[in-house]
Amino acid sequence: MKHKENNTLDEMQDQKMLKMEEYGYWILFWGLALAVVVQLLLGGSIRQVAGELIVLLVGGAYVLATSLKNGLWTRSATPTRKRNAAVSIIPAAIIGVLNVIKLIQKKDIGTNDILIAVAFAVGTYIVCFVVLEVLRVLYEKRRSKLDDVGEE
């Protein structure tokens, strides 16, 4: 968002305010994500968490789009194929653990149930890796374009 002309904060206060807003965003984002997971583990349906999911998707899409538009990734890392492969393990592991918890709650666990749980974890890994790779390519193209503007 653009700063209004009637900003009464000095530069240091403005930086502190931006940092507080950033932390607030991430607390809300991960809090909503945790709320969705807990509700689903307690037997809730996707319909019951649809509102939270929509807010998460809109917030995430906004941060993603504006970050890519400005040629930004994170403060501490740049995207690489190796890093994307490693990071994709996290959501796959979370999905795997959630499926194991769901399986434990079942009375009768069959081989198909285990195979489905593994397939979901592997599928999650593949989808996350592919999405991160596409975003890495977009980031690199945008970063290159922004860097070329500075040289001209």
Last residue of a domain, one of 27, 51, 69: 69
Same domain, 92 and 147: yes
pTM equals 0.76
**What is residue 132's DSSP assignment?**
H
Q: Give the structural domain span for 1.
A: 1-69
Same domain, 131 and 88: yes
State residue 151's pLDDT score: 61
The answer on pLDDT for 44 being more than 80 is: yes
State residue 28's pLDDT score: 93
125: how many CB neighbours lie within 10 A of its CB? 19
Among 110, 117, 60, which residue's Cα sits nearest to residue 93? 117
Same domain, 98 and 40: no
pLDDT band with cut points at 50, 70 and 90 for residue 74: confident
Same domain, 89 and 152: yes
State residue 34's pLDDT score: 92
Average of pLDDT values for 88-115?
88
Same domain, 10 and 51: yes
State residue 54's pLDDT score: 94
Same domain, 91 and 119: yes
Average of pLDDT values for 6-33?
91
Last residue of a domain, one of 22, 44, 69: 69
Same domain, 6 and 38: yes
